[in-house]
Structure 1
Amino acid sequence: MYRQIKMSPQVETHLDGVKVYGLHLHLTPVDPDAKLEFKKEWDEIHSKWRGKTKAEVASEPLMAAYQEFYQRIGLNPKKYPPSVQNLIQRFFIKEDLERLPLIHPIVDAVNVAALQHLVPLGVFDAECVIGDIHLTFTQGGEPFQGLGESELEALSEGLLVLADDDKVLSRFCYRDGESQKITPDTHTIWLLGCQVPGVAEDVVKDSLAAGLDYLNRGYRCEKQLISVD
């Protein structure tokens, strides 16, 4: 059901025990006028984390596993917490749920699943992809336009990126690219989940399944077959 995303030999060697699983999906709205809501799920997440300190959130075993992964790819998890930890600490430890991290129904569905399972999930518009996707390290100088940025930047050497056959799509687990963002015109997506040491494969796949279930509330999701060399 899930495809394992290819990695360069260098990534496989340096990040032993890390695997990325994905679903390539075509989405058709069930009712274009309906609004996809997750109030019950947001409230449940808030109830679980309300009143916790940032330190208590960070000490959860799954959070710690992804912090270790961040360190392995050269990121400081105290300065740049993994995405699930960051969302919980920003929105859900407060006594009152003052606002929600709402972006787009597709992204919101995936974020709910990630927050429930404590596994960072990624979703992006697959129409931007040329060829196949894979994980690799930058050689240095690759152009990349980060989400929300108006200009391209040249990436330094040795950064872990998700790329296609033509370009860098994201700094993996750190920053998405402008070209792949979910928009109202998005119809085909990649949904990704990352397994790291200390996190069981089933936990990651269960989180992906939950994301698919939430997407099914508002979309008819058809799995797209990708030829693999």
Structure 2
Amino acid sequence: MRFQHAAGIRADHPMLAAGVVAVEGIDDGADVDDAVAAHVARATTILATTAVSELPQIQAWRRTFAAMGLKPTQYRCAAESLLRRLSKEGTLPRIHPLVDLCNAVSAAAAIPVAVLDRDRIKGDLEVRHAHGDEAYATFAGDVEHPAPGEVIFADEAGHAHARRWTYKQSSTSTVRPETRDVLIVSEALHPGADADVEALLTTIAAEVARAWPGTTPALTLLTADRPVAEM
């Protein structure tokens, strides 16, 4: 499969930094407690001195949402949602070892991370503007259709795997106990984002390799000159 951003997305957002990690052979039995605790501790340290809304990573996403006509306080990137939950509750939800790990690294970097079950993605995956006829499966069991022009993660079968560029994933490709092959995606829009996304994904790849011995995480950084990741 291939992952890419549509030309219009890159044209509208020249600061975009992005990358993916593809992994085969994960399961739900790995012990990531120590790694999660270490990254959550880093995030907590950041929150002790800086408000979530003052982080440059979060401010860049807020500006982007506002430019798209979305209320930044209503639609938040996944990293902001995690940090706000951590600030309020002192912990992050535990869902699946891989998701827990990625959430913790995401919070520590204040950069959103999505984890998708590759076997539930039909064909290639593209970040693009919606046509309006794509299908987004909610966790309540309903099917929604993104508004035309909305930024979504779309596969070749017309499934929207995330809406409004907030990383609110559909139920279609969420990681499950039986998930084995995954695609981990991170994007950022702030100054210095290229280096930060690379560092974040390098950290995730290393943590995954330690937690799931025998796996070989494959990291690809995406740029305007190399906009496509092939896996």
Bin of the TM-score, shorter chain as denominator length: 0.7 to 0.9
Paired amino acid for 2:133: G
Which of 51, 66, 78 in structure 2 is aligned with 1:83?
Answer: 78
Give the aligned CA root-mean-square deviation in angstroms: 2.7
Give the structure 1 partner of residue 208 of structure 2. 215
Which of 57, 65, 78 in structure 2 is aligned with 1:62?
Answer: 57
Paired amino acid for 1:222: T
Following TM superposition, by how much is the alpha carbon of 1:152 offset from its aligned partner in structure 2, in angstroms?
A: 0.9
CA contact (8 A) 2:20 2:229 kept: no
Alignment pair present for 1:179 and 2:172:
yes
Residue 156 of structure 2 aligns to a residue whose secondary structure is: coil
Which of 11, 28, 37 in structure 2 is aligned with 1:39?
Answer: 37
| Alpha-carbon distance between aligned partners in 2 of 1:4 and 1:132, rounded to the nearest angstrom | 5
Give the structure 1 partner of residue 194 of structure 2. 201
With 35-44 and 172-181 compared, the bigger mean Cα shift is at 35-44
Residue 178 of structure 1 aligns to a residue whose secondary structure is: coil
Paired amino acid for 1:152: V
Which of 125, 128, 137 in structure 1 is aligned with 2:129?
Answer: 137
Following TM superposition, by how much is the alpha carbon of 1:106 offset from its aligned partner in structure 2, in angstroms?
A: 0.6
Residue 180 of structure 1 aligns to a residue whose secondary structure is: coil
Give the structure 2 partner of residue 72 of structure 1. 67
Alignment pair present for 1:156 and 2:147:
yes
Following TM superposition, by how much is the alpha carbon of 1:132 offset from its aligned partner in structure 2, in angstroms?
A: 1.1
User: 1:128/1:4 Cα in 2 relative to 1: closer, same or farther (>3 Å)?
Assistant: closer
Residue 24 of structure 1 aligns to a residue whose secondary structure is: strand
Q: Which runs of 5+ in 1 are unaligned?
A: none
Identity rate, percent: 18
Following TM superposition, by how much is the alpha carbon of 1:111 offset from its aligned partner in structure 2, in angstroms?
A: 1.1
Following TM superposition, by how much is the alpha carbon of 1:77 offset from its aligned partner in structure 2, in angstroms?
A: 1.4
Q: Deviations over 1:106-154 (max 9, x none)?
A: 11111111112221111111111121111111111322113x1212122
Residue 179 of structure 1 aligns to a residue whose secondary structure is: coil
Give the TM-score normalised by structure 1. 0.82
Alignment pair present for 1:116 and 2:112:
no
Q: Deviations over 1:63-84 (max 9, x none)?
A: 2112112223332211222222
| Alpha-carbon distance between aligned partners in 2 of 1:199 and 1:4, rounded to the nearest angstrom | 26
Higher RCO (C-alpha under 8 Å, 6+ residues apart): 2
State which structure, 1 or 2, has the greater radius of gyration over its C-alpha atoms. Answer: 1
| Alpha-carbon distance between aligned partners in 2 of 1:198 and 1:227, rounded to the nearest angstrom | 23
User: 1:6/1:33 Cα in 2 relative to 1: closer, same or farther (>3 Å)?
Assistant: closer
Paired amino acid for 1:104: H
Q: Deviations over 1:74-99 (max 9, x none)?
A: 322112222222222222356xx3x4
Q: Which runs of 5+ in 2 are unaligned?
A: 221-227
Give the TM-score normalised by structure 2. 0.82
CA contact (8 A) 1:119 1:193 kept: yes
